[in-house]
A and B are shown apart, each in its own frame.
Chain A
């Protein structure tokens, strides 16, 4: 394994030296045109982050709304939860994005509602719904990790289902729920790249646009990957910090 890695790196390094494959001038910060390209590419990060944060926020709330009927003692409610989770989990992101962006407005129009779906909201809605199936499962395992006796004690002092969740179960489950939820944010950031296909001006879209004018896919997509890498590594560090804090709290 180690040998293969070394081989790969050597090849890459050699390729990097041979100037007929690489043309770094396209994103050379010391030349005016290269600097303009870099600025154009990196400035997509604002939208990538914005889409991810809004989608994650919706998903965290939607996931909870989906998770709660899954805990109900009524079979009908549990089935609603299972159908949603299984259905949403099995739809690939790209078709869902097309359906939301191109299909949903037709349904809206036929119902007499005039809500245009712009690329931003198209991407946010799709990412949020797709991710909510996963956040719902995270809530489920978090809630189930709380001992049954807690629910019974809450019932014995007259708390109803919502109150039991609100005051007894969720405050305890949150320590186990937050780290995986934060992890799920990484999934959203990566999947937000699909927003480029419906014209959203984020990191990937910017890269595509420069590639079309400059014909330098290797360098530009390398930079694109680096951009996501840095973004995800920063978030991972945040998640690890959160996990440590949650773990520390648990021992109190």
Chain B
């Protein structure tokens, strides 16, 4: 039996008068991988950011394992790293080394002692294939390595769900695959994932479901196979043609 990890029902959001999310409905089961694509400015980031409460939604319902996520501070704090997030700009903490980046969350939020936290950190650094960089400062790493550290940092919190907001968009082309490989592995291990990306190869390989967003709406939502075989809307067809051409 499947349990629903994340559910959004009729979520609406405005930035002042600008209606950025319009009646968003989305259900993500445990272990499911969902890819969100769509043109720039269509609201993809905002959906993801509403889920982990980096943004407030104005109406509708968002839940994590049946527990509603409201806009209250208490609700935002209750997420406590259960929803991991990987950003386009990595957002590593530049003033501390890689290992310190990784153990900060487990020590302060999960109240692990240093030895336990280091053990967890080294475990995940090995999983993202850079255990030898533990004592480097973030600025000394390549973009691809930084993003893998960022993924490891999220995993150290042992999250139930991982969100990715264009994790490869600010990487040099030759580094994209090393990050995608880590994400594919993570998907194969059964992680529940919501990934905003234009990497359609990745979507075909791991996604159970693909969403296409345009102007704040989910225009299409389908199984991966159906989505690529027969996109229903004109808008989606042109979009796919455009990015698949590159």
Contact = CB atoms under 8 A, between A and B. Distances in A.
Contact of B85 (A73, A147, A156, A172): A156
B218 interface: no
A92 interface: no
Majority SS of interface residues in chain A?
A: helix
Contact of B83 (A147, A156, A163): A156
B91 A152 contact: yes
A213 B33 CA distance: 88
A157 B153 contact: yes
Interface string A227-242: 0000000000000000
Interface residues of B, number: 32
Contacts, number: 65
B91 A158 contact: no
B228 interface: no
Given A152-B54, A153-B87, A168-B93, A160 B154 contact: no
Contacts of A171: 95-96
Contact of B104 (A150, A152, A160, A167): A167
Given A158-B80, A158-B157, A153 B91 contact: yes
A147 B89 CA distance: 11
Given A156-B81, A158-B80, A167-B108, A172 B92 contact: no
B233 interface: no
Interface in B45-90: 52-54, 73, 76-77, 79-85, 87, 89
Interface string A138-161: 000000000101101111111110
Interface in B99-120: 104-105, 108-110
Contact of A163 (B84, B87, B89, B108): B108
B94 interface: yes
Q: Which of the listed residues B93, B156, B157 has the most CB atoms from chain A within 10 Å of its own CB? A: B93
Given A152-B54, A171-B95, A172-B94, A157 B105 contact: yes
Nearest to B81: A158
B159 to A, nearest CB: 9
Q: Which of A152, A155, A158 is the most central at the interface, judged by chain B CB atoms within 10 Å of its CB?
A: A158
Contacts of B137: 252
Given A152-B91, A153-B92, A158 B105 contact: yes
A159 B109 contact: yes
Contacts of A167: 104, 108
Q: Is the interface of B mostly helix, strand, loop or mixed?
A: loop
A8 to B, nearest CB: 50
Contacts of B93: 150, 153-154, 168, 172
Interface centre among A147, A153, A163, A252 (most CB of B within 10 A): A153
A211 B164 CA distance: 74
Contacts of B95: 171-172
B162 to A, nearest CB: 10
A85 to B, nearest CB: 24
A157 B87 contact: no
A252 B95 CA distance: 10
A171 to B, nearest CB: 5
Contact of B154 (A157, A159, A252): A157
A149 B89 contact: yes
Given A152-B87, A158-B82, A158-B157, 13 more contacts: A150-B91, A152-B91, A156-B54, A157-B154, A158-B79, A158-B80, A158-B81, A159-B105, A163-B108, A168-B93, A171-B96, A172-B93, A252-B137
30 contacts: A149-B89, A150-B91, A153-B91, A153-B150, A154-B93, A155-B53, A155-B54, A155-B76, A156-B52, A156-B54, A156-B84, A157-B81, A157-B104, A157-B105, A157-B156, A158-B77, A158-B79, A158-B80, A158-B109, A159-B104, A159-B109, A160-B77, A163-B109, A167-B108, A168-B93, A168-B104, A171-B95, A172-B93, A172-B94, A172-B95
Q: When A and B form their complex, which 8 residue pairs have the shortest distance between CB atoms, in order from nearest?
A: A157-B105, A158-B81, A158-B109, A153-B91, A156-B85, A158-B80, A149-B91, A172-B95
Interface of B: 52-54, 73, 76-77, 79-85, 87, 89, 91-96, 104-105, 108-110, 137, 150, 153-154, 156-157
Interface of A: 73, 147, 149-150, 152-160, 163, 167-168, 171-172, 252
